[in-house]
Homo-oligomer: A and B are copies of this chain.
Amino acid sequence: MTLFTGLSAFPLTPIDDEGQLKSELLQRFLERIVAAGADSIGLLGSTGGYAYLTPEERKRTLRAAVDCVAGRTPLVVGVGALTTDVAEDLARDARKAGADGLLLAPMSYQPLTDDEVFRHFEAVAAAGELPLCIYNNPGTTKFTFSPDLIARLAEISNVAAVKMPLPADSDYAGEMRSLRAVTPDGFAVGYSGDWGAKDALLAGGACWYSVVAGLLPEPALALTRASQAGNAAEAERIDHAFAPLWALFREFGSFRVMFTIAEILGLGRITPPRPILPLEPASRERVEVALRPLLQDAV
Question: Once the chains bind, are A110 and B274 in contact (CB under 8 Å)?
Answer: no
**A273 interfacial by beta-carbon distance below 8 Å:** yes
Question: Once the chains bind, are A52 and B113 in contact (CB under 8 Å)?
Answer: no
**Chain A interface mostly:** loop
Q: Please classify how large the interface on chain A is, using the bins under 10, 10 to 19, 20 to 34, 35 or more.
A: 20 to 34
Question: Once the chains bind, are A111 and B274 in contact (CB under 8 Å)?
Answer: no
Task: List the one stretch of A3-11, A82-90, A228-236 in contact with chain B.
Answer: A82-90
Within 8 A of B (CB), among A99-122: 106-107, 109-113, 115-117, 119-120
Question: Once the chains bind, are B83 and A277 in contact (CB under 8 Å)?
Answer: no
**A68 interfacial by beta-carbon distance below 8 Å:** no
Q: Kindly state the separation between the CA atoms of A99 and B106 in the bound complex, as whole angstroms.
A: 33
Q: How far is the CB of A9 from chain B (nearest CB, A)?
A: 19
Question: Once the chains bind, are B109 and A46 in contact (CB under 8 Å)?
Answer: yes
**A139 interfacial by beta-carbon distance below 8 Å:** yes
Q: How far is the CB of A255 from chain B (nearest CB, A)?
A: 5
Question: Once the chains bind, are B140 and A275 in contact (CB under 8 Å)?
Answer: no
Question: Once the chains bind, are B46 and A277 in contact (CB under 8 Å)?
Answer: no
When C-beta atoms are compared, the residue in chain B nearest to A115 turns out to be B277
When C-beta atoms are compared, the residue in chain B nearest to A124 turns out to be B275
Chain A residues within CB distance 8 Å of chain B: 19, 46, 51-52, 82-85, 106-107, 109-113, 115-117, 119-120, 123, 139-140, 142, 253, 255-256, 273-277
